[in-house]
Each structure stands twice: as structure tokens, then as C-alpha cells.
Structure 1
Amino acid sequence: MASSEQDPAPAHELVSYPPFFLRCNATAAGAPPPPPPPRAISPVDVVAIDLQRLDAAALGEACREWGLFRLVNHGIPEVLKAEIEAEARRLLALPFDAKAARFACPGIDYFWGTPAGNLRLKELNWVEGLHIPLAHLRSDSSAVDFDGFETFRNLVDEYGRHMARIARTIFDAIAVNLNLDSKMLSSYLLEHDGTFRIYRYPKCANADDYLAMEAHTDSSILSIVNQDGVGGLQIRRNDGWFDIEPISNTLIINLGDIMQAISNDEYMSVEHRVSVNESKARVSLCYFGFPTDSCSISSSGYRKFTYKEFKMQMQEDIKAFGSKVGLKRFKIDAQDA
């Protein structure tokens, strides 16, 4: 008899899971799970933007109304995505102890439960992955040394160059729409020094009780998400949650907090989360484009701050409250206006 998609994971897959995930997947009841997150209502169609024929009006509307859009004709070879996904699945299928040991070095970090490094969020996320600062990966060829890593490094480097091209093209078009100071454009986006993260969301027997990634906004200028076919990305819109379905050979572009600030709230940093799948693991490739640390953000709705100050405040809030407060910390109160 053929096995169903919900059969237990094979032993070699289970040894790759963080121990906490194994305990939560066990049939024996332990501590009561957290309250179930609100479920998404239905899939929603988001605006599609053609990178080869950028429509300034359509781009501006998507940024104002949605805070994200689907990108087509982006020029990333499908074979490159497939190769990175295959390498990512291979590396993340290593035994948990091996991952924790092999990636405990400069240039690439293994994380689980939260992508926030040593900062612990108040709710555990059902996620593990690799955090890769692209500039560091290129400059330090000895960061990680084990079988097959050089292949992975070369694939990520090629992919990162595509991300830089796409991020710069989109940001420059947005800058024209917002009439941003041309002298600030290189400070607003360090596209070649972006962060690349590979997320693996293991399947979860208690999928309704956990989130793969809790609701949040990104702290970037923009983020570029390349989903696999499993799905799970959701956005908040009109007080409800909606699924962003994966469509082959397209990307999802999220606007981040810093984009919202420099646009003086004309463009929105979209709140999003990731749901857990009961029967399939999910892999997502994500690029984050940031400003320089010294970049000064100034607009009528916010007190003047640098990106370094924003990061430091975010880290302090996570330490204190288990989650970031974000742009609210820098908003000018009505009595101060």
C-alpha cells in the first residue's frame, strides 16, 4: 500500500530537526501548546510587476496599497533556484548537532526557532535556516570548510548578484516615484552587501498550534522572497490574513520599515507571517536589502534617526519585550508636531 503524505518522517530526516521540534511532534502530550494563531481567510491575488517593462504607476500603486508585489520576468535562471534549493535541503538535512557545529563560524550562521540570532523572541518560530551576509561570504573563502560547501558558496554568490541587480532596479524606480534625493540613493541601499537567508520550515504534526514565522514587518528597505511550491506566506490586509500562493518562476517583493519611513508612510511595510504545514517541509530563499548604518532617515512623520540607531533600538526592544516595536519608536507624536 502506498504511503500517504502525512506518514511519519523517515529517521534520517528526524535527526536533522532541532530537538525541541522533535518533542513537539511527539505524540506524548507535554506542556500545553500556545493558543492557535488566527487562520488565513483565502488566497489573494497581488499586483504583478514586470521587471523588464517597469510601469511606474503600477509600481507606485502596489507599494501604496499592498506593500508588496509579485515580480515577473526577473531574469533569475530557474536552474539556479533549483540548484540552491537542492543544496539547501542537503545542508539542512544534516544531523542537528553537525549543523550547529559546522556553521558555528564567521560568515554563515545556523539558526533555529528565530532568525534573530542570540535574541530570543517571546514565541518560538517553527523554522531553521542559514543566515549569510553576502559581502562576508565573498570576502572570506575559509569561513566554512566541508564537503560540497564550495559549490554552495558559488551558487549563493551568483544568486546574490541577481538579487543586487533586482533590488537596485526596483529601488531606483521607487526613488523616482518618491522624488528621493539622488545623492542619498547609494546610502539608502547597499544592494551588494545584503543578507541572504535560507529558511527551512519543517513539517509539524500540530500545525494549527504553531507559526513557522510569527507576524512581523521586515526591518529592511526591501526583501525578495523566492518560495518553493509548498506555500505558507500570508499577509495581513483589512484586519484579516490572506495566503500569498506560490507561482512558479515569480518572486515576492516586500517593502520594509525603512522604505516606509523614507516614503513618510506613503508606502507601507507589509505585515506578514508564515504558516506551518502538517505534511510537507517548506524551503524559502530570502534576500534583505539594507541602508548603510550611517544612513540618515528624515521625514515629516518621524524624528531624524540613522539606520544604526534603528537596529540598536530594535535589539533593545527584543531583549526587553521579546519582539520589536519598530517604527513606532521613531514616530513624531501629535503633541510634538
Structure 2
Amino acid sequence: MSISESYPPAFRRVTNDENPPATPVIVQGKDINIPVIDLERLDKEILREACKEWGIFRLENHGVPLALTSRLQEISESLLSLPFEKKRELFAAVKSPLSYFWGTPALNRSGDALKRGAQASNLTMLEGFNVPLSSLSSLSKLPTSTCCDDDAQEEPKLESFRVLMEEYGKHITRIAVSLFEAIAQTLNLELSGNRRSEYLSESTGLIRVYRYPQSSEEAAREALGMEVHTDSSVISILREDESGGLEIMKGEEWFCVKPVANTLIVNLGDMMQAISDDEYKSVTHRVKKRNRKTERHSVCYFVFPKRDCVIKSSNYKLFTYSDFEAQVQADVQSLGTKIGLPRFNPNSPLFL
């Protein structure tokens, strides 16, 4: 099987030099070093500065076993390398909380890709698995497929993936909770009673495993792996391979964040910006592969407030996370892109 057979059909023309899609030329960012936070010796002043001036930092000494992340990457790459139709059939057949998506990172709560409005940019060059951790942990084992023998042969691999995801999820949730509590202290946020679990609800945590395909020289020069956006989360935690491609906007310029082995990248999302009254920023970022001959693989954890948590801020009208999520999905479906916090800011021309 050629590698292109594992890609969604819409991607296959981009893996060759024939008829690449017409997209705007994208200027490559310059390399930059982001702040580094040591989780074992967490310095609150360094953390405050990173959140205020950057909205993103690198995390070292995070305690996630290297053997676990290596095995997770191995099994994820193996599943993603299956033929496209087999991936679709397998995930549909097992009827698990896992879902397979491609062409866009904009998904609904079930992990299905949202239909995007006519103003959407060209197809986003990525595919992946959506893994809601709370649903995953409630299963002792993925159901057995009755679809066909080929699917049944892949199910042990899928079950291994589930087990590894569950273990990785426990580690990454621990990290998210520790970081949020530390960030809250830098903001003097009151987290008495159930407030911490309302602002950062572990039950909302999900993981997305991404693969960005090889591409032609022309497509690699112009096509984005993931379009410009901010995350809707409180906190997002990224583990990426050595190929790189993450870019952030600081000021009015784009910068490349080079990968560093055995570290994680933490970025703040829209909900943290709102909770902090805009003192901390949700970082604007994108993904653009530098090397067209290699794939890029990454694993990202997102965690949100409870759906009915009311976000109070002097800069925004009162809203629940459910309100925010619904508005994002409505904008994606009607306009083709996320608007985000400006929809809730009375001083913004995009306020509704």
C-alpha cells in the first residue's frame, strides 16, 4: 500500500506535484524561544510573566514517562497509517467514544467535523482521532466489531490505543490541574468550594491525535496544516514530534516554535483569557510544516469549564461555556471560521 492510500482522498493530490490547490502564499515565521517552566520547581513569577506576555510556554520535568509517550506515538502512527476507508469503517464499527476526522479541526461535541460556511479557507491538511477522556475511562474494553475480519484484526491495536490513552490522560490531567491552580494563584482567583472544578472541569478533557501528511513542494510552501486560530479551552497541552511546524503570533509577527525532546507545550485558551479579565492572553497560533517529505504527528489535550459555568468578566457580557461553544459552532458553520471572544465583548464591532 502506498502512503497516499492512507490519506483522505481530498489530500492525495497534494502528496504529488500535480495540480496543487490554489492558496494564498504564507510567510514562514522566524524561530523564537518561548518561556520554560519547570513543573518540579514551579516559579510563580516566571509563570505569571509567561501567561501575561506570551500565553504559551514550554514545560519540562512534567513527569510523563518517556516510554508511555513513545509507545503512544508508535500505536497512533500505526492506526493513522491504515487505509482511509478502513479507518472510517473501524471507528464506525466499534461504536466507541473515539472518532476519526479529517480536513478540519472544527468538531462538534461528538467529535464529528462541522460543515463549514462558504467563506472557509481551503481544506486544512490534517486528520486525526478525537478522544473524550471521561467516556473512554468508562469503558472496560472497546466493543467487538462484527463488521468484517479485517476490522477485527485491527481491534487489538485499537484496544492498546485506548489503554495508552487512558494512562496518558491521567498524567496530562494531573498536569493541567496543577498548572491551573498555580495560574489561579498568580491571578489571586478565589477557588473556594467547587469553583476550581467549574472553571476547569476534568470531565471535559479530551485528546486529539493529529497527523499532517506529506505534500508536494508547491503545497508545502503554501498550504497550512492548521489555520490561524485561538483555542476555546482553558488550557491546551501539546506533545509534538521532532518535525516542528507550530507557529505563534507575538505582536504582529509570526514565529516558529522549535520542538524540544521530552517537553510539552502549554498554551492558554479563550476561557483563561476571559477568566483572567484579559490579563492573560489566548495565544494565536497555526501549524505549517517545514519539511514536505515528512509527516507531522502531535497529541494535544484540551480542557474546558463545565458547560453551565458562568464566566464573569468586566470585559465581556455574562456567558456560560455552553453559550460560547454554541456561538463558535454557529460562526464556523455560517462564516467558515471561529470568531470567539469578540462575540461577547460589548466594545468589539463583532459583538452580538
Shared fold per TM-score greater than 0.5: yes
The answer to whether the 8 Å contact 2:342/2:348 transfers is: no
Whether 1:64 and 2:73 are equivalent positions in the alignment is no
**Which position in structure 2 is the counterpart of 1:51?**
39
Quote the Cα distance in structure 1 between the aligned partners of 2:327 and 2:96.
Answer: 24
Which amino acid counterpart does residue 45 of structure 1 have in structure 2? N
**1:115 maps to 2:110:** no
Structure 1 residues 18, 115: CA separation in 2 closer, same or farther (over 3 Å shift)?
Answer: same
In structure 2, how many angstroms separate the alpha carbons of the residues matched to 1:325 and 1:27? 34
Following superposition, the deviation at residue 144 of structure 1 comes to 5.3
Give, in angstroms, the shift of residue 334 of structure 1: 7.8
SS in 2 for 1:75: coil
Structure 2 counterpart of 1:195, which letter? L
What RMSD in Å do the two structures reach over aligned CA positions? 1.7
The amino acid across from 2:10 in the alignment is F
Alignment CA distance shift 1:312-1:334 (3 Å):
closer
Matched with 1:8 is none
1:223 to 223, 226, 236: 236
Q: Corresponding residue for 2:129?
A: 130
In the alignment, what sits opposite 1:150?
159
| Deviation, structure 1 residue 175 | 0.8
Unaligned runs of 5+ in 1: 1-10
Select 2:334's aligned residue among 297, 320, 325.
320
Please give the alpha-carbon distance, in whole angstroms, between the structure 1 residues aligned to 2:40 and 2:181. 14
For 1:29, what is the secondary structure of its paired residue?
A: coil
After superposition, residues 81-100 of structure 1 pair within 5 angstroms as 81-100=69-88
| Offset at residue 251 of structure 1 (A) | 0.6
**TM-score computed with the length of structure 1 as normaliser:** 0.92
Residue 15 of structure 1: SS of its match in structure 2? helix
Equivalent of residue 245 in structure 1, options 242, 245, 258: 258
Of 196, 210, 215, the residue aligned with 1:199 is 210
CA contact (8 A) 1:199 1:285 kept: yes
Q: 1:110-138: CA deviations, max 9, x gaps?
A: 01111223313412111000000001111
Structure 1 residue 181: deviation in Å? 2.0
Amino acid at match of 2:201: L
Residue 179 of structure 1 and its aligned partner are, at CA, apart by: 1.5
Once the two structures are aligned, what percentage of the paired residues are identical?
45
Answer whether contact 1:114 1:120 (CA < 8 A) is retained: no
Aligned to 1:24, the other structure's residue is in SS state helix
In 2, distance between residues paired with 1:179 and 1:48? 22
Tell me, in whole angstroms, the C-alpha distance in 2 between the residues paired with 1:15 and 1:141.
32
TM-score w.r.t. length of structure 2: 0.89
Contact in 2 for aligned 1:103/1:144 (Cα 8 Å): no
Task: Name the SS of the counterpart of 1:147 in structure 2.
Answer: helix
Q: Identify the match of residue 330 of structure 1 among 319, 336, 344.
A: 344
Structure 2 residue runs of 5 or longer lacking an equivalent are: 107-111, 145-154
Alignment partner of 2:207: what SS?
A: strand
Q: Contact 1:107–1:140 (CA<8 Å) still a contact in 2?
A: no
Q: 1:23 aligns to what?
A: 13
Q: Equivalent residue for 2:307? A: 293
SS class of match (2:208): strand
| d(CA) in 2 for partners of 1:210, 1:120 | 20
8 Å contact from structure 1 (residues 63, 255) kept in 2: yes
